[in-house]
Amino acid sequence: MHKTVTKLADGRELVYYDAEPTARDAVDRRPLEPAASVSEVRVDPFSGDAVTIAAHRQSRTYHPPADECPLCPSREGRLSEIPAADYQVAVFENRFPSLADSSAEHVAPWADGPYALTPGTGRCEVVCFTSDHAASFADLDEPRARLVLDAWTDRTAELYARPGVRQVYCFENRGAEIGVTLGHPHGQVYAFPFTTPRTALALERAAAHLAATGRNLYDDVLAAERATTGKPDSRVVLAGEHWTAFVPFAARWPYEVHLYPNRRVADLTGLDGAARDEFPRIYLDLLRRFDRLFPGPAPYIAAWHQAPRPASAELALHLELFTLRRTADKLKYLAGTESGMGAFMNDVRPEAAARTLREL
């Protein structure tokens, strides 16, 4: 992997990732003002969850026409966030971030009775998987998917080294049904100044399991799923030498798959060479199965769960992939029970979902 770091016109960082050394000297010629964002992190007094307030994001770019896509390479007459005429993988600071270190200059920590507020520091990055606007991650070949994995790993290492970062989250939203506002194939990386609520709860459950059994919860879940491989009611979708993909026992979404490395690590930086080499084949196979679920491309979220800092040996790196679609013409809405009570209701039996994905 070859990495080139440069700056955009407003001072935001742009990083190119190439499989081979490549000259990246294109200059951003847009007349942009210096970037500055202000956000707050407020704590819910009942759940303890951190909620980020970022009012400036109301004006972010929203469904531009394809010929005005800000993630396509720049060309004469249309300058984008990527000054180069072409690229392999590109990562840049979001122009409309939910979290930014500049928030510390404008927001002072504050507490009053049951309420507490801190600056929304951190970093939000956009990861462009390819310069091809019409492609998707599933269209990538294995070397390009490996380059994206290397970029995710590099961003994880670099962002965890920044002061105040508690958790690094790499993810992809695909499809208008998910809420994607830019159609170009891309994902994001968030560097949070707090441990996210989902991770905090998972750590509590893992600690309770360790206290009760003396074993790691993630190891036990993976072992239980792998033990069913080949059985009629198995939830395993794909099993490689270094990765296992399975539908979770208590799946919340109609089609949901968790992808675990067979050797437990805390985050992407802990993967060894063999796991990195196998990942593109397994992950691309999984995405292509999702795209065969319905007549059109499946809208999905792909979310890397990584251990927060200070590092916890109990939380294992894994990827959670799910679609909001339950049939070709029906979405799984987060309605009254899910949104109001956090109590998920799933219309598809996990074992049936796994069988469908295996057969595609």
Prediction pTM value:
0.96
Active site residues: 186
- d(CA 315, CA 97) in angstroms, rounded, equals 27
What pLDDT shows up at residue 295?
A: 93
Report angle CA 31, 32, 38 to the nearest 5 degrees.
170
Q: Using the structure block, give the residue that is written with the tokens 């109590």.
A: 343
Going along the chain from its start, the domains and CATH numbers come out as 2-194 (3.30.428.10), 198-359 (3.30.428.10)
What pLDDT shows up at residue 310?
A: 85
Q: Which of 89, 127, 140 is nearest to 286 (CA)?
A: 140
What pLDDT shows up at residue 247?
A: 98
Which conformational region is residue 184 in: left (phi greater than 0), alpha (psi within -120 to 50 degrees), or beta?
beta
Q: What is the mean pLDDT of each run of 10 residues along the chain (360 residues)?
A: 97 97 96 88 96 85 83 94 98 96 94 97 98 97 98 98 97 93 95 97 96 98 96 96 98 98 97 98 98 94 96 89 94 93 95 97
- Contact at 8 Å (CB) between 28 and 79? yes
Q: Which residues pair with 52 in a beta bridge?
A: 41
Q: How many of the other CB atoms lie within 10 Å of CB of 4?
A: 17
What pLDDT shows up at residue 349?
A: 97
